[in-house]
Chain A
Amino acid sequence: DIQMTQSASSVSASVGDRVTITCRASLGISSWLAWYQQKPGKAPKLLIYVASRLQSGVSSRFSGSGSGTDFTLTISSLQPEDFATYYCQQANSFPLTFGGGTKVEIK
């Protein structure tokens, strides 16, 4: 299985901050990476697919980058509704695997 590592389990930030969340794959996965946002008690929501493509309806303050083994999700200007947990997920091979999650908390 491909292991996905999000090195930061939490990040503290303020409204308006630029936030960067990183994800590393144990093997090269080309650009087959997705990012999800999950709020408490809710299902995850797809934000980014194929590493950098914005899902329809998702705010343009979210962006993704990377390929191979190292990936980044950036929130350009943090808004109150962005406080949540973010997960990366590799889609290069089965079984699909997720990172452990990074919780964006209010500073």
Chain B
Amino acid sequence: KNQVEQSPQSLIILEGKNCTLQCNYTVSPFSNLRWYKQDTGRGPVSLTIMTFSENTKSNGRYTATLDADTKQSSLHITASQLSDSASYMCVVRGGSYIPTFGRGTSLIVHP
């Protein structure tokens, strides 16, 4: 069964600090992996998309990594800002392009 597990479930950090969110998946075959940011009451917005051959991809202060061998991905946020407070979701698409969602990590950045 295709599954996506995210950790931690929630995270609280101080403004300016870095943090890393984890995503482990069992989706096979693998098509791509996306990290989304969802602000409260809004739809998810894509941060990065990674395919099998990509190991690292950055989008501003967000850097995603992918290890296709161990089926793990991480999202690193550098110099966190208050506006980074949101839910971060890992979505993996398999061969049929049906997405499998992680439960998300809730990040709170305190001033």
Tell whether A and B belong to one assembly. no
User: What is the interface of chain A, defined by CB distance below 8 A to chain B?
Assistant: none
